[in-house]
Amino acid sequence: MLKFFQILSYGIINGGLYGLVALGLSLVFGVMNYLNVAHGGLIMLASYVTFLIFSSLHIDPFLSILLVTPAFFVIGWVLFKVLYQSLMKFTEGEKIKNSLLISFGLLLIFANLAILLWTADERAVAPWYTGKVFDVFGVRLPYTGLGGLALAITVIIALHLFLTRTYFGKAIRAVSLDHEAATLMGINVNKVCLVAFSIGFALAGIPGVLTSLHAFNPAISFDLTNKALVVLILAGVGSIKGVLIGGLFLGAVEAAGVYLVGTPYREVFGLILFVLILMFRPQGLAGKKA
């Protein structure tokens, strides 16, 4: 029974990370129908940046978020101007297909760039609290995991509040509903898309910090993109609150798989769930829009 709770707690901690991983992807897809599969590659790059900051400047990884996110905001800004702006004129289906192809190329570029710059070896950031755990009735809860879960919940709620309570957040939501109507209401759709896209990139910096605390290498890009897509489908497109629930659900499903079958197949359960949902409920478990 202890083993069950141990695995479940790890599943929930992972689930928070998955929610965070999917957040930027979900925002960008919801607002402008760009399926940015390069998101996992960005998170991987953010892990390396965190690693470099930690090893050269000795800044705590959780604090380095303040450096990493603005940097990724700028990267998103530049990439939107260079690559993605020209897709704005396409129809919805064309947008998804072309952005999928372009970001797929970016994903390969990021992964191979990381191998060239930093080799394919595994690395990890190890601050003083690595390996320290709370002991709750025999269930071991690592400090890093709890910190990550708290961070995930905070960031997701903050983004939700930003989108529902602020003027600019409301503009983003208006654009995601209908570009033309938003234009007619006097919203600068191009600018809103540019900023939302950049925020999506900046949001890749935060999970990057969390993944840097465990062993990582350039190949995690593909796994992370994959996790983000699974959560996106679980949550339903464009739902920010759904992302947290979807992430936690995926973590729990994986935990159940580990408990019943074994660790090597952990990823498979999420993927099978993903394919089944794609087939039978493509609008997501929580989503209403077809």
Partner 1 sequence: MKHILLATSIVICLALVPLVITKEYILNLIILVSLYTVLSQSWNILGGYTGQVSLGHSTFFGMGALVFRYLWIGGLSPYLALGAGSISSLLLASAIGFPAFKLKGHYFAIGTLALAMIALITVQNVFPGVSFIPPQYLKGYSLFPIYYMALILGTVTIVLVYGLSRSKLGLALVSIREDEDAAEAIGINIFKYKVISMSLSTLIAGLGGGLFSFYVASYYYYVPFDLGWSFDPVLISFIGGAGTVAGPILGSLVFVILKELFAISLGQINVLIFGIVFIFTVLFFPKGIIGIPKLLQKKKLSVVSMKEI
Residues that bind partner 1 (CB under 8 A): 35, 37, 83, 86, 93, 96-98, 100-102, 104-106, 108-109, 112-113, 115-116, 222, 226, 229-230, 264-265, 267-268, 271-272, 274-275, 278-279, 282
**Phi, psi for residue 263 in degrees, rounded to 5:** -60, -40
Least CB distance from residue 105 to partner 1, whole Å? Answer: 4
List of residues 6+ apart from 162 with CB closer than 8 A:
168, 169
Q: Residue 229 and residue 231: Cα distance in Å, rounded?
A: 5
Two tokens at 276?
């089944």
Which residues are paired to 134 by β-bridges? 141
Phi-psi sector, 199: left (phi>0), alpha (psi -120 to 50), beta:
alpha
CA proximity to 125, closest of 5, 213, 202: 213
Cβ proximity to partner 1: between 170 and 281 the closer is: 281
Cα 109 → chain centroid: 19
Least CB distance from residue 151 to partner 1, whole Å? Answer: 27
Cβ proximity to partner 1: between 1 and 279 the closer is: 279
Least CB distance from residue 93 to partner 1, whole Å? Answer: 6
Cβ proximity to partner 1: between 143 and 222 the closer is: 222
Cβ proximity to partner 1: between 53 and 234 the closer is: 234
Cβ proximity to partner 1: between 168 and 265 the closer is: 265
